[in-house]
A and B are shown apart, each in its own frame.
Chain A
Amino acid sequence: MKINKLFTKSFPYILLIILTLPIILGYLWIVITTFSTRIYGLIPVDQSGNYFRGLTLSNWTFLTDKTKTLNVSIWLLTFNTLIIAVGLTVGVVLISMMAGYALSRIKFPGRKPFLSLTLILHSFPSVTLLIAIYFVLRWIARIPILGRGIPIIGGFGYNTLGGVILVSIALQLPLGIWLMKGFFDNVSWDLERAALIDGCSRWRTWWQIMVPQIMPGIAALSIFSFMEGWKSFLIPYSFMTSHARATLSTLLNEMMSESSPTDYGTLAAVGLFQLLPIIIFYLFTQKYLLNIFSGGVKGTA
């Protein structure tokens, strides 16, 4: 009896451990590799093959030197990545908050078709759009100032951070809008009516009464968008060609596809470097992120 009970209790854990083992080993490998000259399995070895030797920090020199592959500072690439992540987050959250509210509360012609269209767009693989977007960005690049004359983000044209942000926002919006609409749907109409009767304008009702009710949703969408932007690869890789505008993801890709033999130690270190903020961020915010899946405002009584 007792053993039986113990088994049923521990079974899920055993199963989960077995299933996650490959991932855990992978992370372990990355961490150990970054501090080793060579590695044998998960055990660091030195040049002459002695076990548990050859620990080194030389894989981390990219933090101070220019990266060998792209010949630009890693900090510039980090900055680029951060700009994309922040730009994407701000854009997606702002637009989704407004569009979600309108779609949830206001009746206007074309509302239903618009909703289904965004859903279709969301399930559209972005790869198929790359060439079309390329032409759009080339065209935007020709617009004075807006194209490539804006500080920090460069502009919204081809080969600018702003261009990548613009495209990423567009691809992320369907999810954001649906998410925000769902959260707004859960806020009672009476709350809004009370605000209107108290003397709020529509705009103020949205900002001061409605938006505070969906803070959990906004937090979730912000975190989700930030992570998307931080780790995004396809769009930055396709639309930013110059080395000075690369991101951490594109650097990793370059390192792997170099013609000279891949330096796995440095590759792992850069990978870990890109991963760390995400992990730290996730640890602090996972409680909000879970709201995406529960999808509602709780305790608004």
Chain B
Amino acid sequence: MKVDLINLTKKFMGITAVSSINLDIKDGEFVAFLGPSGCGKTTTLLMISGIYKPTTGDILFEGERVNHFPPKDRDIGMVFQSYALYPHMTVYQNLVFSLMLKRRPKDEMKAEAKRVADIMGIGTLLNRKPGQLSGGQQQRVALGRALIKQPKLLLFDEPLSNLDARLRISMRGEIKKLQNNLGITSIYVTHDQIEAMTMADRIAVIKDGILQAYTVPEELHDKPKTLFIAEFIGNPPMNLFEVKLLSEKGSLYADLGKGVKIGIPKTRTPKDTQKGVIKMGIRPQDLHAGKDKGIKTVIELVEPMGRDDLIVCQLGDKDIHFLTDPGLKLKTGNRINILPDMEKSQFFEIETGKSLLWA
């Protein structure tokens, strides 16, 4: 189902929780709302579900304005962080509750319960109460309860936050696969950028109730439009530090202090080179340890991360983190040369946080 949010705004007693959000979701698309806690993701989702009424702005389903529709008339299923299963009902009763309210015949309820129980792998749990299930099982039941209605839109509010790390990763893949197979338009709220990056077709980054960007994951990662996005997306986080722009013989350099200068390639020339001091960003995976070329420095710390080693050292007077192959067996105190891949560098205006490359 196609969904449009138009100037969607929600105020709570004068405090703006969601501020004029505009975005469109295509039929069958998997969209993530990503942002730190308290940024208005849940509020937006609850407006889409019809629990909250927008203060101003519109919500369109298939082009039809649904602002005044009660939740039950919106053809949606929702999965909550707290699972929100009905504690006094069995798993079976939880699953078929929405069908029961629609007075569907018993056989149909049985058949539908079996269908979703098979999809979610909870067939053996039907007679248990939610209190007798593990967190992962409860979340499966909650997902089943949302699916049994065959909704046109699925809403997820941080559904994996209460699960342990390992389960989170496997459920991540499972939900993604499920959404792909069923083709149900989905909105997935999370504060975990890895979840958003791995699952979503498009990501809406929200900060303080304001939509920062709405685009595909690769673009968020490679072409962050604001400093906030650059800081928020990517793991380990991007190195960000202030540099002075220098222009010598027609070439542009970034001055990192202590006489360290790095050439900026033509493709990454910041808009408005007169700025002087700007913020430079480079991801830990875009710095490499060179043999003899590169900037000389000393390793201050090595953090093994399994597949990579995270190295901390100084470049000019800036602290830098970067990833290397553990096979190099680098140790604290080793002298190395660093080659930054400046074709991957980012530049931002300090005052506004706007990108000087993409904004």
> Which residues on A are within 8 Å of B, measured CB to CB?
188, 190-191, 193-200, 204, 209, 212-213, 299-301
> Which residues on B are within 8 Å of A, measured CB to CB?
46, 49-51, 70-72, 76-78, 80-82, 84-88, 97-98, 101-102, 130-131, 138, 145, 149
Q: Is the CB of B101 within 8 A of A213?
A: no
Known interface pairs A213-B88, A299-B131, A301-B87; A193-B72 also in contact (CB < 8 Å)? no
Q: Give 26 A-B contacts (CB < 8 Å), ordered by A residue.
A: A190-B84, A191-B84, A193-B46, A193-B51, A193-B71, A193-B84, A194-B78, A194-B84, A194-B85, A194-B86, A195-B86, A197-B49, A197-B77, A198-B72, A198-B97, A198-B98, A198-B145, A199-B101, A200-B101, A204-B101, A212-B86, A299-B87, A300-B131, A301-B87, A301-B130, A301-B131
Complex CA distance for A204 and B78, rounded to whole angstroms: 19
Q: Is the CB of A197 within 8 A of B72?
A: yes
Residue in A188, A199, A200, A300 with the greatest tally of chain B CB atoms within 10 Å: A199
Top 7 A-B residue pairs of the complex, sorted by shortest distance between their CB atoms: A190-B84, A199-B72, A198-B98, A194-B84, A199-B101, A212-B88, A190-B80
Complex CA distance for A193 and B79, rounded to whole angstroms: 10
Query: Which B residues touch A204, using CB under 8 A?
Result: 101
Q: Is the CB of B82 within 8 A of A190?
A: yes
How many whole Å from A53's CB to the nearest CB in chain B? 59
Residue in A190, A200, A209, A212 with the greatest tally of chain B CB atoms within 10 Å: A190
Query: Which B residues touch A193, using CB under 8 A?
Result: 46, 49, 51, 71, 78, 80, 84
Complex CA distance for A198 and B148, rounded to whole angstroms: 10
Complex CA distance for A195 and B86, rounded to whole angstroms: 9
User: Closest residue to B86 on the A side, CB-wise?
Assistant: A209
Residue in A195, A197, A204 with the greatest tally of chain B CB atoms within 10 Å: A197
Q: Is the CB of A188 within 8 A of B84?
A: yes
Q: Is the CB of A198 within 8 A of B101?
A: yes
Contact of A196 (CB < 8 Å), options: B70, B81, B82 = B70
Q: Is the CB of A191 within 8 A of B86?
A: yes
Query: Which B residues touch A212, using CB under 8 A?
Result: 86-88
Complex CA distance for A169 and B234, rounded to whole angstroms: 62
Query: Which A residues touch B86, using CB under 8 A?
Result: 191, 194-195, 209, 212
Complex CA distance for A193 and B97, rounded to whole angstroms: 14
Query: Which A residues touch B145, using CB under 8 A?
Result: 194, 198
Complex CA distance for A200 and B130, rounded to whole angstroms: 20
How many whole Å from A140's CB to the nearest CB in chain B? 40
Q: Is the CB of B80 within 8 A of A196?
A: no
How many whole Å from A174's CB to the nearest CB in chain B? 27
Q: Is the CB of B72 within 8 A of A196?
A: yes
Complex CA distance for A198 and B85, rounded to whole angstroms: 11
Residue in B82, B85, B86, B149 with the greatest tally of chain A CB atoms within 10 Å: B86
Query: Which B residues touch A191, using CB under 8 A?
Result: 84, 86
Complex CA distance for A121 and B280, rounded to whole angstroms: 65
Q: Is the CB of B84 within 8 A of A196?
A: no
Complex CA distance for A197 and B84, rounded to whole angstroms: 12
Q: Is the CB of B71 within 8 A of A197?
A: yes
Known interface pairs A191-B84, A212-B88; A197-B78 also in contact (CB < 8 Å)? yes
Contact of A197 (CB < 8 Å), options: B76, B85, B88, B131 = B76
